[in-house]
């Protein structure tokens, strides 16, 4: 939503068009299937946020987009955190994109929840250490 407020064009891709359209209509974006997204590259420098379960344990050989499609993205965020380095993550890095692990989202959500419940800043180093040890 923050990107929309900054004027970004949002494209929602899903395995089924209907699910993509439902969310795209809510946020004012364009809808397409994951298959269509592989050939969608109106410009370089795009940002990809994978919030599907594609690539999550135990299906770690799966990826939501083929490697050839990743060359158009400058940043790839994969919300999956098990495994930490998904196939999408590895292929995006090989394609030259900046990549962000799903654990980063999980940690930052924890920071905000801690602050909301306690009114105090979260112990960032402790949160990161616990994630490394347990996820």
Looking at the chain, the whole-number percentage of residues with pLDDT higher than 90 is 82
Selected from 3.40.50.720, 1.10.3720.10, 3.40.640.10, 3.30.465.10, the CATH number assigned to the domain covering 2-102 reads 3.40.50.720
Q: What is the pLDDT of residue 7?
A: 85
Cα–Cα nearest to 70, from 100, 55, 90, 56: 90
Domain range summary for the chain, segments of one domain joined by + = 2-102, 103-135
79-124 pLDDT tens trace: 999 998 999 999 999 999 999 999 999 999 999 999 999 999 999 9
Task: Count the residues in the chain.
Answer: 135
Res 44 pLDDT > 80? yes
What global pTM score does this model have?
A: 0.85
């Amino acid at each position: 939503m923050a990107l929309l407020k900054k004027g970004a064009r949002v494209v929602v891709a899903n395995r089924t068009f209907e699910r993509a359209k439902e969310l795209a209509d809510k946020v004012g974006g364009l809808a397409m299937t994951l298959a269509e997204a592989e050939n969608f590259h109106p410009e370089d420098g795009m940002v990809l946020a994978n919030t599907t379960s594609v690539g999550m344990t135990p299906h770690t050989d799966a990826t939501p987009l083929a490697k050839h499609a990743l060359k158009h993205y400058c940043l790839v965020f994969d919300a999956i955190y098990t495994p930490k380095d998904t196939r999408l993550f590895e292929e995006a890095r090989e394609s030259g994109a900046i990549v962000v692990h799903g654990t980063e989202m999980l940690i930052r959500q924890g920071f905000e929840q801690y602050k909301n419940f306690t009114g105090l800043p979260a112990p960032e180093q402790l949160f990161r250490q616990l994630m490394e040890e347990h996820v």
